[in-house]
Amino acid sequence: MELSVVIATFNRARDLAATMHSLSGLATARAWELIVVDNNSTDDTRQVVDTCALLFRVPVRYVFESRQGRSPALNAGIALARGDIVVTTDDDVRVEPDWLDRISDGMHRLGCDYVGGRALPIWETPKPVWLPDHGGKHWAVVALLDYGDRPIEFGTRVPLGVNMAFRRDRFERAGPFDPETGRKAGTLLGQEVREWCIRARATGLRGYYVPDVVVRHVIPASRLKKGYFRRWFYWRGISRALLYERAGLDMEAPEQTVPAARAVRHVFGVPRYLCRTALGHARGWIVALLTRDGVASFDHELWLWFFAGIVAQRWRDRHGPRGRAALRTAA
């Protein structure tokens, strides 16, 4: 078995059916399998998998993972994978027939341990004017990615789990995805790929962006509202604060963190330089509002939501049970 495709899904049976129809059209001479991990779904996910499995000429395996969260679900699928290369994607994508061939060819050509590719949009409704046409931090909110036409090594840039592939035995060196930093029902946590890539690089693993490895990601109307973007940036702040608490990683640029990150001065648990940055964004937000620059004002506002998530999580870290225990130990 050369490739195992792993999908984690939760209560999105209709989307999953369309994705499995797309995957059934893959045309490759390579041996592969599909593993669908049901993460406590209460809809007819199991029936969808059983029905759509009839479309495939390769093994389709249904796995139930009771521990809630994208990371535990992916870890369960990866643990059962038989392919030398494990491919991860989501339950709302469309792929070209040569997708797996491009993944395998790119990985062997670059001689690396993992790869990530483009995630381009299928808009369910017209794109709002405040959302850029190409790349940038706003694209990450809706799980889109395009780093250009040339391969680049991942470092300060990271891939998206919707279109990644790994040599399976590399998980033995870097470990599985962290269950505490991945998406869970009712939250928008989402730093599991970034955290894994940082950990993988620390063990000497190398990953590359491969531009001709492409998926089309369906973007529903519900994610094209400013309210969703505000929530996403707030939860991003929470996620980054969790990484800071656990590993001392810089909250704005985790890949560029310095060993003395915890030695900087703090204000109520938040690095003081982030507080200064927040003041700058607050001023920029007010100026943009006064000049009626809607795009700029929303950009500044989103950073402030990110900062609010950091503050909220740092407060919990200091005043929750673990935080109080840490303070007593320090004293």
pLDDT 10s digits, 254-274: 876 554 455 678 888 898 999
In this prediction, residue 275 carries a pLDDT of 94
| Strand stretches in 220-319, DSSP E | 266-267, 270-271
Q: Is the pLDDT of residue 136 over 80?
A: no
Which positions ≥6 away from 74 have C-beta within 8 Å? 6, 8, 37, 88, 161, 176, 177, 182
Name the residue among 178, 19, 319 with its Cα closest to residue 5: 19
Least confident among 69-78, 79-88, 103-112, 179-188: 179-188
- Residues listed for the chain: 331
Name the one residue in this structure whose structure tokens are 């694209």: 139
Q: Which residue has the higher pLDDT, 81 or 251?
A: 81
In whole angstroms, what is the distance from residue 290 CA to residue 169 CA?
A: 55
Token pair 């299928």: residue: 122
Beta-carbon contacts of 256 under 8 Å, excluding residues fewer than 6 positions away, are: 156, 250
Residue 325, pLDDT above cutoff 90 = no
* Three-class secondary structure of residue 57 per DSSP: coil
Structural domains in the chain, sorted by start: 3-224 (3.90.550.10), 231-330 (no CATH)
Check pLDDT > 90 for residue 253.
Answer: no
The proportion of the chain whose per-residue pLDDT surpasses 70, expressed as a percent, equals 94
- Are the C-beta atoms of 164 and 115 separated by less than 8 Å? yes
Task: Determine the Cα–Cα distance for residues 213 and 115; give it in Å rounded to an integer.
Answer: 9
pLDDT digits (tens, 9 = 90+) for 70-93: 999 999 999 999 999 999 999 999
